[in-house]
Structure 1
Amino acid sequence: MPFRTRELLEEWLAEFTDTDLAGLAEAEEHDSDPGTDPGLIIVRLHNATPYMFLQPVGPGDPKWAVTFGPREQELVLGSEELAGLAAELELAARLCAYLEGRSQEYIRTH
């Protein structure tokens, strides 16, 4: 049963304790097929463009998938930018794990 509404995701983002996320991630509305979970988190990267998004794998499934937005050009980074991108990806991985944990908790308690 779909449950990850924008309002719930905004709550979860606010509770996510990593302050480095401020301004990088936001819950969004998106059109979803009937029977799918509408959850969507957009993460805008500073060290790579354009963005990536996190969304549930399927209705009632606690797993989340990360999708990178399309690129028109090759991404060329120096060591400093690459280290910054690695830090952003690590933060996104922690957020994804957090969302999976919250989804498991929600499924267990509702």
Structure 2
Amino acid sequence: MPFRSQDTLQEWLDEFHALGYPVTGTLKVLPQDGEDGSNTGLVAVSLHNASTVTYIQPESQGSHRWVVTLEPREDAVVLDAAGLHGLASELSIASVLCSFLQAKSQSVSG
């Protein structure tokens, strides 16, 4: 799948950054070995207001639907009002990025 290559995902992530969304955490492409040994990737989202492992990738191989995965945590996240507002903003940006990646992959696939 061409829209899963690390290079393509990095180009799209650079394009997303250029749009000027206020990203507080870190967004980066991580390598992921494809089932057939292909050069695939996923987008990791490091949240500033919570240390939850979060990443964005297609729902399944061959799917054009992208999803955000938030890994389970051992400890509770305790935030004051400002911290919760910051986390909500970060999750909103992750949602926008997920939609952006889905639209980009659909445009490549036709």
> Structure 2: where are the runs of 5+ without partners?
none
Q: State the identity as a percent.
A: 37
2-side partners of 1:33 and 1:60: how far apart?
Answer: 12
**Is 1:55 aligned to 2:57, yes or no?**
yes
Contact 1:24 1:43 in 2 (8 A): yes
Cα deviation, residue 22, structure 1: 7.1
In the alignment, residue 103 of structure 2 is paired with which amino acid?
G
The alpha-carbon deviation at position 23 of structure 1 amounts to: 5.8
The alignment covers a number of residue pairs equal to: 107
- SS of corresponding position for 1:49: coil
TM norm structure 1: 0.86
Deviations 1:64-91 (A, max 9, x none): 1111133121111110000000000000
**Amino acid corresponding to residue 81 of structure 2 in structure 1:** S
Q: How far apart are 1:31 and its partner, in Å?
A: 2.7
The structure 1 residue matched to 2:95, chosen from 79, 88, 93, is 93
Contact preservation (8 Å) 2:25, 2:48: no
TM-score (norm 2): 0.86
- The two structures, once aligned, show a CA RMSD in angstroms of 2.1
Matches within 5 A, 1:1-16: 2-3=1-2, 4-16=4-16
Displacement after TM superposition at 1:42 (Å)? 0.3
In 2: Cα distance, 1:37 partner to 1:67 partner: 21
Q: Which residue does 1:44 correspond to in 2?
A: 46
Letter in 2 for 1:104: Q
Q: Give the unaligned 5+ runs of structure 1.
A: none
How far the C-alpha of 1:38 sits from its partner, in A, is 2.9
